[in-house]
Structure 1
Amino acid sequence: MVRILPEGRLVYGMQLPVQALSAVFAEGWETEAGPVELLAVARAADRLGFFYVACCDHVAIPARLADAMSTTWYDPVATLSYVAAATTRVRLLSHVAVAGLRHPLAFAKQYATLDHLSGGRLILGVGAGHVQEEFDALGVDFGRRGPVLDETIDALKVALGPQEFPEHDGRHFSFRGLGQRPRPVQVPRPPIWVGGSSPAAIRRSALRGDGWLPQGDPRGQLPYRIAELVRLRRGEPLDIGAITEPVYIGEPSWRVGRRALSGKGEAIAESLREYARIGVGQIQVRFRSRGVTELLDQMEAFAADVAPHLN
């Protein structure tokens, strides 16, 4: 098992803007933004002590889902490599890569290279996926995506490990005698965090993952999920995350949504500390904003007025 979260401390990260324009979480201004704004946010996260920045993953979006999901989903390896070259400390999270769409050796080659180029900053987040047409187009059995992901994680643990010639012999994949370099910088390998909140995803996280990435569970449901993780994990520690409610530091002059946490930094920190009390080690913060300047201001305010009170 590979753990990277500091013991007894709550750390914070964020999903990068611009790279995914789902109506569920993207702000309106992001549709007109691009690499300049994305990189400005990544550099700010690096400077302000964010633990990670994250990028989503979809290969193609069917027309029936395009209005809700949009068709803008940057490739995570390309995007995080671009960000890696302009940052020095912040970790790089795929949240989440649909690992079952690729052969583990091809997948490992991409992410091992990213870890190598970034100096060992990769966090590999993986998930089962949910868009059937995406699987169909790539010739992958959608109905078997769960078992395939289970084996893919097992294969990735070997393929991203220290051995130049990894070996795996499973039902879906088999390889030996094939060398891959560069190897990841992180030893014994980069951490693998498993995304999803279904019973199958919880079980997969507990039995195969180094960490858990819930998919927007309401705060009140997390204790039950975490209790199940702990039960299945049988005492072995796990890096546990959560996605917070939308956050706006200060008194907003516009409607930020009824679920948003807003107000003074200390009050927001007091609310966020509840995540640590229920067993969460890292929170992914979603800031409300009307433009990249306001987003950068919110990040600055969080680092100055909220983060010092989280622990």
Structure 2
Amino acid sequence: MKLGIVSPVVTANPGAHGDWEASADIEELGRIAEAADRLGFDHMTCSEHVAVPTEIAQQRGATYWDPLPTFGYLAARTTRLRLLTQVLVIGYHHPLEIAKRYGTLDRISGGRLMLGIGVGSLEEEFELLGAEFAGRGAIADDALAALRACWGRREPEYHGPHFDISGFIVEPHGVQARVPMLIGGRTPRSLRRAVELGTGWVPFGLSLDQLRDMLATRELPEDFEVILSTGRLLDPSADPEAAVERLRRVRAAGATLLTTTVQAESAEHYCEQLEALAVLARDLD
């Protein structure tokens, strides 16, 4: 069973992080990444928000480290761990901006990038950044097609309803011939978008029953990834039975990769929990 990690420190969503994270910094995160790398975890995550409205921060959290510099640092401290943007809001970027900036990250990490991409739902942030909120779904579809066409190409070319690209050089660019593009969302349309334009789906905010039912409505392509979160803090050291049961339930809902969160009181304790979780995962294979 392949497990990833919802990175601590880089976000502070209410009820989903430990008190110790408020005073932690990049060094603690780096030690956790090194432990995850050594223990064989598949990936770590980092979300994107530029600025969260004050009145919404209580529900969504206000801490969001930028994925690009965060992953650049973690790439230098790891050798195998993949780096998953969960998620970039594609409406905030031109497709070539992603192809260049994250293509550079793909290169310096040795092809370990996973692009989790979402359409976005925070209208105030769209307005702040001068991005178009109305019609964002159709724009996102075209941007995803453009990104796929342009990824890893020195002289990209794409002609679509919202993006028309030719006559430019992008150097450096991504080294993966087909970078994983995992579409975020919680609606049937997001799953449709993932099947048609991505290589996988990374949903949020749905129960396991809802996820299982929604996945049953689509015939998924071969090698299509479904990355599901365990949804609750696991305590593999103190309560391994509950951790195992949760892992099994999430896998049974249709996950091909699981992204986990663990209870911890410090960065050192977090690494100890990862050790215990890695043992449980091996026993479940």
Q: TM-score, normalized by length of structure 2?
A: 0.94
In 1, Cα distance between equivalents of 2:15 and 2:214 = 22
Per-residue CA distance 1:250-295 (angstroms, 9 max, x = gap): 33xxxxxxxxxxx236x63354234334432100011112222221
Instruction: Report the AA paired with residue 207 of structure 1.
Output: E
Q: What residue in structure 1 maps to residue 226 of structure 2?
A: 240
Deviation at 1:190, TM superposition (A): 1.0
> Is 1:95–1:195's contact at 8 Å kept on the other side of the alignment?
yes
Distance in 2 separating the partners of 1:64 and 1:119: 40
Out of 272, 276, 289, the residue aligned to residue 264 of structure 2 is 289
Which residue pairs with 1:91 in the alignment? 82
Is the 1:166–1:176 Cα contact (8 Å) retained in structure 2? Answer: yes
The answer as to whether partners of 2:89 and 2:117 remain within 8 angstroms in 1 is: yes
The question of whether the paired residues in 2 share the 8 Å contact of 1:240 and 1:280 is answered with yes
Decide whether aligned partners of structure 1 residues 16 and 271 sit closer, same or farther in structure 2, where only a CA change above 3 A counts: closer
2:240 aligned residue: 264
Q: Partner letter of residue 104 of structure 1? A: P
Structure 1 residue 137: Cα displacement: 1.1
- The separation in 2 between residues aligned to 1:277 and 1:22, in whole angstroms, is 26
Which position in structure 2 is the counterpart of 1:5? Answer: none
RMSD of the TM alignment (CA)? Answer: 1.7
Distance 1:12 1:153, change over 3 A: same
**Structure 1 CA distance, aligned partners of 2:268 and 2:110?**
29
Structure 1 residue 168 corresponds to structure 2 residue 144: no
Matching of residues 156-195 of structure 1 within 5 Å? 156-161=147-152, 163-187=153-177, 189-195=178-184
Please, which runs of 5 or more residues in structure 1 have no aligned partner? 1-9, 252-262
Whether the 8 Å contact between 1:216 and 1:243 is mirrored in structure 2 is no
Q: Does 1:197 align with 2:183?
A: no
Overall identity of the aligned pairs, in %? 37
1:137 maps to what in 2? 128
Output one character per residue of 1:58-108: Cα deviation in whole Å (capped at 9) or x when no partner.
Answer: 011112112333432111111111100111010010001111111111111
Alignment of 1:1-311 (within 5 A): 10-161=1-152, 163-187=153-177, 189-230=178-219, 233=220, 236-244=222-230, 245-251=232-238, 263-264=239-240, 268-304=243-279, 306-311=280-285
**For 1:249, what is the secondary structure of its paired residue?**
coil
Segment of structure 1 superposing worse, 115-124 or 167-176:
167-176
Distance 2:66 2:84 in 1: 12
Aligned twin of 1:7? none
Q: 2:4·2:259 contact (CA, 8 Å) conserved in 1?
A: yes
For 1:66 and 1:219, the matched residues in 2 are separated by: 26
- Equivalents in 1 of 2:240, 2:66: separation in Å? 36
Q: In the alignment, is the contact (CA less than 8 A) between 1:112 and 1:182 conserved in 2?
A: yes
Contact 2:7–2:46, Cα closer than 8 Å, also in 1: yes
The separation in 1 between residues aligned to 2:100 and 2:284, in whole angstroms, is 37
**Mapped partners of 2:270, 2:234: distance in 1:** 11
CA–CA separation in structure 1 for the residues paired with 2:28 and 2:223: 37
Letter in 1 for 2:251: A
The question of whether the paired residues in 2 share the 8 Å contact of 1:202 and 1:228 is answered with no
Partners of 1:63 and 1:81 in 2: CA distance: 29
TM-score (norm 1): 0.86
Which amino acid in the other structure matches residue 308 of structure 1? R
SS class of match (1:228): coil
Q: Letter of the 1:203 partner, please give it.
A: R
**Runs of at least 5 residues in structure 2 that lack an aligned partner in the other structure:** none
Cα distance, 1:172 vs. partner? 1.3
Q: Taking structure 1 as reference, are residues 87 and 25 closer, same or farther at Cα in structure 2, changes over 3 Å only?
A: same
2:89–2:119 contact (8 Å) kept in structure 1: yes
Quote how far apart the aligned CAs of 1:142 are: 1.0
Relative to structure 1, is the Cα distance of residues 144 and 24 closer, same or farther in structure 2, using a 3 angstrom cutoff? farther
Q: Equivalents in 2 of 1:218, 1:151: separation in Å?
A: 30
